[in-house]
Amino acid sequence: MVTTITTTVHGTADLFPAPVKPRIICISGFAESTREMANKETADVEIWALNRCYTYLKRWSRHYEVHQPELYTGKTGLREPDYLDILRKSKTPVYMQVVDPSIPNAVQFPTQAIIAAGFRNYFTTSIAYMLAHAAYEHKVLGQTIGEIRMYGVDMSAYSEYSYQRPCVEYWLGIVEGMGMKLVIPKLSPVLKGPSYGDHEYKYLWEQARDRIAHLKGKQAEISANLQGVMGAAQEYQHIPKELPEMTETFKHMETSDEMALKVKAALAEVDKKIKSRVKELTQAHAQLNADLNATLGAFREAQHWLSVVGAPQSHEQEPDGVRLPQI
């Protein structure tokens, strides 16, 4: 005779809790080539922002301002006039090296704790601090991170390339060595380079050309907007020059004349709107000129990059199945 014993276990959910889903972190920089990818992330992805990223990000989970007060207050660096107000109104943590008591959600960045945990004291850029923080939370605090996505992080400007990019790539190696998956867009040169010995440079040529195509498109867009602003500004040259004189004339008319009062008020309002609009167009013209100059500078840098890796300067110059001479 076989006896079947049935045992009922209560509270199995407590004994075997559901596994915690690894976090997905998106570190968003300011490079226009890929930064908009951050705005397409789903709500379960944490967005880590820094510095001026609030000017384009639709949301962020935390903000990093690790500079000294002289810079982030605008005394020795460029920040928008409302930058501090935005940080003060932030409903997310604001990690700072020097905590500003006027920012309610300011949090002390754990630099010393990170170093004490055995990580290297090597931080030449804000992105390095952010990656180190991810490594610390993952390894020391047990807040498992499964993936880090790097958007808007090109590190292609000269100063960044010379001393900041190696630091970022060092920390990317650390987090990848800890098991975190890295997502780095094709357009970003970070963690990319020719393999020594095999001389396979062609993918770098393609990357440089992709970047040039992006910059050409941006240049065309800015140029079109600039022409539009200039056209709008020129339209105001056709406004009757007599308008200010008429406004001034009606200022001196008897206030008892009801019609004169109405005309005077209407002319004054038109004059006010015209001056306001001309001011807006002047500011837009200056900003577009600055954007265009920056794009042209980046375009020249990308062309320089092509020449450095020895690529043909146009698709027409590159035959199919091109092969580099053997050394």
Q: What is the pLDDT along the chain (327 residues), one digit of tens a residue?
A: 444 434 444 454 455 565 678 999 999 998 888 999 999 999 999 999 998 898 899 999 999 999 988 888 877 666 777 888 999 999 999 999 999 999 999 999 999 999 999 999 999 999 999 999 999 999 999 999 999 999 999 887 656 667 888 999 999 999 999 999 999 998 888 888 766 665 566 777 777 778 778 888 888 888 888 888 888 887 776 666 656 666 666 556 555 567 767 777 777 777 788 878 888 888 888 888 888 888 877 777 776 566 556 555 454 444 333 333 333
Any domain includes 253: yes
Do 50 and 156 share a domain, yes or no? yes
What is the rounded distance in angstroms from the CA atom of residue 294 to the CA atom of residue 301?
Answer: 11
Task: Please tell me the predicted confidence (pLDDT) of residue 218.
Answer: 84
Q: 49 has which bridge partners?
A: 63
Q: Which structural domain, as residue segments, surrounds residue 158?
A: 20-183
Task: Please tell me the predicted confidence (pLDDT) of residue 317.
Answer: 45
Residue-wise pLDDT tens digits, 173-202: 999 999 999 999 988 888 887 666 655 667
When divided into structural domains, the chain yields a total of 2
Query: Is 170:122 a contact under the CB 8 Å cutoff?
Result: yes
Residue-wise pLDDT tens digits, 19-68: 678 999 999 998 888 999 999 999 999 999 998 898 899 999 999 999 98
Any domain includes 8: no
Do 167 and 263 share a domain, yes or no? no
Do 312 and 211 share a domain, yes or no? yes
Do 169 and 233 share a domain, yes or no? no
Do 113 and 40 share a domain, yes or no? yes
The size of the chain, in residues, is: 327
- CATH number for position 153: 3.90.1480.10
**Count of H helices and E strands in the chain?**
10, 7
Any domain includes 194: no
Any domain includes 5: no
Do 122 and 233 share a domain, yes or no? no
Do 308 and 238 share a domain, yes or no? yes
What is the chain's percent helix, strand, coil content, to nearest 5? 50, 10, 40
Do 250 and 126 share a domain, yes or no? no
What is the rounded distance in angstroms from the CA atom of residue 192 to the CA atom of residue 199?
Answer: 14
Do 144 and 224 share a domain, yes or no? no
Tokens of 327: 């050394």
Do 211 and 110 share a domain, yes or no? no
Do 310 and 220 share a domain, yes or no? yes
What is the rounded distance in angstroms from the CA atom of residue 149 to the CA atom of residue 146?
Answer: 10
Do 141 and 27 share a domain, yes or no? yes
Per-residue DSSP letter, 103 = -
Any domain includes 50: yes
Q: What is the strand order of the sheet 181-183 is part of?
A: 106-108, 94-96, 62-65, 46-50, 23-28, 145-151, 181-183
Q: Name the residue with tokens 């996505």.
A: 149
Any domain includes 163: yes
